[in-house]
Structure 1
Amino acid sequence: MITRDPGAFLALARGCGPDFGPATARAAFLVAPEGFRRAEQSALDNAYMAEAPAFEPERALAQHRALHAALAASCPVLCFPGDPDTPDAVFPNNAFASAPGRLLVGRMRHPVRQRETAREDIRRFFGEVLGARTIDLSGQPHPCELTGSLVIDRARGLGYCGLSERCDEDGARLMHEAFGLRTTLVFDLAPGEYHANVVMSVLAGRCVLLCEDGFASPTAAAAIADLYAPHAIRLSAAERQGFVANCLALDAGTVWMSARAGRALDPLNRAALGRAGFVVREVPLDAIEAAGGSLRCCVGEIF
């Protein structure tokens, strides 16, 4: 079921046990920030992006290498080369995503990002090395920027899809079907927000971080929080702006976020993550965050 009705979603989601699939990925992939610079098309609807003088390509590369090394503590991580013609490719989870036996290719809103989805090396890796079949959504007209727009509880097969210029209702439906989810709650993001994964994150199927001011209606946020209580952690606007919600669990006991997010994380919320069974690990990513995304955006998960 895919629905805009939080009550209908909750009624079904409460009966979904953690038997849909692995709660965390078996591996992950990155794309190096070669030719790192401000993508003016993306800046049209990404309020988190800095102005061009703030972009430091060499620092971005160095921080990305450190991210690669750090994440390897949670799971195997590989890195594909970047391309100066695709300056936003450092955020591959918007263009490529996976489910067991499947590679999903998204439909990006901006032409500068549509070039990313055409690259053959990532497609061939999933198809020829992992034996995955490809579900290619890139040629249809409805924007659906995969796990940027759609936050997934992989353990229970639940989706949370935030609508914006980057994903419309038809795109949400296409992703729901391609991932084979049990139920997906569709909601409008607040004006100025571009991706759901900047305002919320589901961690290993048992905890949610969310910032209510990133939702157009508080009803959807409240329903999601109810489902994960007592491990529903509400974030402040300052924490959202610091990319706290753009975090990721790649194993059952670790939450990865940027150093900026770690500084923004309220100590009470850090303690709440501890009660949910998570240790917070932080990686400096301020050079990459100039492009309007943070750690979770940098990581493509392999299921």
Structure 2
Amino acid sequence: MITRDPGAFLALARGCAPDFGPATARAAFLVTPEGFARAEESARDNRYMAAAECYRGDAALAEHRALQQALAADVPVFAFAGDPAAPDAVFPNNVFATARPDARAYPQALPRLVVGRMRHTVRQPEAARADIRGFFREVVGTTEVDLSQQPHPCELTGSLVVDRARGLGYCGLSERCDEAGARLMHEAFGLRATLLFDLAPGEYHANVVLAVLAGRALLASPAGFADPAVAHAIAALYAPHAVLLTPTQQAAFAGNAIALSPRRVWMSGAAAASLDPAQRQALAAAGFELGQVPLAAIEAGGGSLRCCVAEVF
């Protein structure tokens, strides 16, 4: 199912057991922020990007090293070298994602590398990286689903938030992902059901306003949805472990979080500092420790911790 109807989606989703596949990744990879700078083309539809003079390349590299070291407490984390000619190519989850078909229906199926199509030409060369594609093809042994050459923008797990345990997708439509692109991603990930919704004006990616944590908890900012009722409907599926964020917390990237293990959720230092005691307790009640990494320099690029992390399933 792929639908804009929250009621129809939830009627199906409530019957989906958490048997689609592992809820969290077995590894993750990053791309280092070499030549980190403001890309004016990307800034056209990313209001979170700082002014050019606010970018600090050395600080971003130091934060990125600390991020890799911190996340390695939960899963193996490796990094590909960045390209100085690609000034904002530090967010590989928009370009590369991995997926496995329904584990119960296709237990022997090979994992897939999904390559997305970026909206802006300044980021489109990332999809052609032979080293990343070759690593997954020759070392990991994935099959490849290449969406990068078709005309519809589909910026993978930036636009599509996935509940890996149940095989459910939540796709925020914007200039970075249209309905046709959403359908292509739904098929590439082999999902059971995907809910389409419009992001609020000025929002570019669903993963800034929504996070599913190990299939059992949720962070959501209703203000980031064109229709806030959609956020509340999604939250009902994860109750009582749904944490609703304020617009201020969304702006601090509290929704741009990830669980790489069943016991911990990671977000930036600024995001963690924005949470109130009740929200921290709600995450603890869901079984999560809170991990945080200072990322002020990287956040100048308009994304935060989750945007930096491409998962390997």
In 1: Cα distance, 2:255 partner to 2:228 partner: 17
- Measured after TM superposition, the shift of residue 105 of structure 1 is 0.3
Contact 2:222 2:229 in 1 (8 A): no
Secondary structure in 1 matching 2:243:
strand
Secondary structure (helix, strand or coil) at the match of 2:122 reads: helix
Q: Is residue 173 from structure 1 mapped to residue 183 from structure 2 by the alignment?
A: yes
Determine helix, strand or coil for the equivalent of 1:185.
strand
Runs of 4 or more consecutive aligned structure 1 residues displaced over 2 Å after TM superposition: none
> How much identity, in percent, do the aligned residues show?
69
TM-score computed with the length of structure 2 as normaliser: 0.96
Partner of 2:205: 195
Distance 1:75 1:154 in 2: 16
Task: Return the alpha-carbon distance in structure 2 between the equivalents of residues 120 and 248 of structure 1.
Answer: 27
Question: How many Å apart are 1:220 and its aligned residue?
Answer: 1.3
Q: CA–CA distance in 2 between the matches of 1:143 and 1:281? A: 32
Contact 2:161/2:212, CA 8 A, preserved across alignment: yes
- Contact 1:71 1:77 (C-alpha < 8 Å) held by counterparts: yes
Equivalent residue for 1:163? 173
Q: Could you say which residue in structure 2 is the equivalent of 1:130?
A: 140
Q: Tell me the SS of whatever aligns to 1:301.
A: strand
* Count, aligned residues: 303
Structure 1 residues without counterparts, runs of 5 or longer: none
Q: How does 1:1-303 map to 2 (within 5 A)?
A: 1-100=1-100, 101-303=111-313
The structural deviation recorded for 1:219 is 2.5
CA distance in 1, matches of 2:7, 2:290: 32
The answer to whether the Cα contact below 8 Å between 2:116 and 2:147 also exists between their aligned partners in 1 is yes
Unaligned runs of 5+ in 2: 101-110
C-alpha contact (below 8 Å) 1:239/1:266 kept by paired residues: no
Q: Does the Cα contact within 8 Å between 1:96 and 1:103 map onto a contact in 2?
A: yes
Alpha-carbon separation, structure 2, partners of 1:68 and 1:232 = 28
The answer to whether the 8 Å contact 1:6/1:219 transfers is: no
How far apart are the structure 2 equivalents of 1:131 and 1:286? 36
Q: CA deviation at 1:223?
A: 1.3
Once residues 47 and 298 of structure 1 are traced to their aligned partners in structure 2, the CA distance between those partners, rounded to angstroms, is: 18
**Whole-Å separation in 1 of the counterparts to 2:172 and 2:69:** 31
Q: Which amino acid aligns with 1:109?
A: R
For normalisation by structure 1, the TM-score amounts to 0.99
Give the letter for the 1:70 counterpart. A
Deviation at 1:75, TM superposition (A): 0.2
